[in-house]
Amino acid sequence: MDPEEAWETELGIIKNFRFLTLRGSVWYYDIEDYINENGITIPPSEGTGAGTDCVSNLDQLELYGGELEASIKLGDSFRATAAYIYKRHSVEDSGYEQGWNYYLPDLLAKNKVKLRASYKVWEGGWFQLSSRYVDARESQGGQSMDPYITADVAFGQEFNYNHHKYMASIYCNNVTGTEYEEISGYETPEFVWGVQVGVKF
């Protein structure tokens, strides 16, 4: 097993307008002897159903992509951000290509979209809505995983007491009840409710 060696290049730009901020970046990674962890490289032994964990070097792996982001601020009451992330990769064959084999970069979604908006309801009180889209991707078992969209909501209140700043919030993640898997074979909860309390000294 050889150590990884990589050249990493990133280029970005930011442009500010009166109410709008635009950000853009591109990146490229050239990795030699990439260490690919593969939990199912050896097919299950007949009658046991068990695989074998192992790692192997990939001669060369290229990762590249970009990100675009736009942020809007209207006074002190409304803020919103939208971001798009694009990822691709190319890899030289390692000699281990089989139906049960996979590359770690294959598990990354090629396209993602993130949205977030917050509105100041009153002094110290805010409402937030966020959403994300994750593109289809491969799984370690070789099956394709479906794309999904989720939405989260939250309400928070900040206040000062005895020279300290306090914050309390209530939130619900995946408020639409979307059925999806971030890891193949493990369904995420339909709804996640929670309460957060914090203090700054």
Type and span of the H or E element at 2: none
What is the spatial distance between Cα 112 and Cα 5, in angstroms, rounded to a whole number? 28
In Å, what is the CA distance from 88 to each residue of 107, 112, 181? 11, 12, 21
pLDDT in tens, the chain (201 residues): 788 888 999 999 999 998 999 999 999 999 888 877 765 544 555 444 445 557 777 778 889 999 999 999 998 899 999 999 999 988 776 665 554 456 677 778 899 999 999 999 998 899 999 999 999 888 776 678 899 999 999 999 998 888 889 999 999 999 999 998 887 777 888 889 999 999 887
Q: Tokens 């290509």 appear where?
A: 97
The pTM of the whole model exceeds 0.95: no
Closest CA to 25 of 17, 15, 40, 33: 15
Q: Tokens 């990939």 appear where?
A: 58
Instruction: Output the pLDDT for position 8.
Output: 93
What is the spatial distance between Cα 106 and Cα 89, in angstroms, rounded to a whole number? 8
Q: Tokens 């150590």 appear where?
A: 3
DSSP state for residue 45 in the 8-state scheme: P
Dihedral sign, Cα of residue 74, residue 79, residue 84, residue 85: positive
CB 170 within 8 A of CB 144: no
Q: Tokens 């601020």 appear where?
A: 73
Q: Which tokens hold the place of 178?
A: 């979307």
- The phi and psi torsions of 106 (rounded to 5 degrees) equal -65, -20
CB 196 within 8 A of CB 154: no
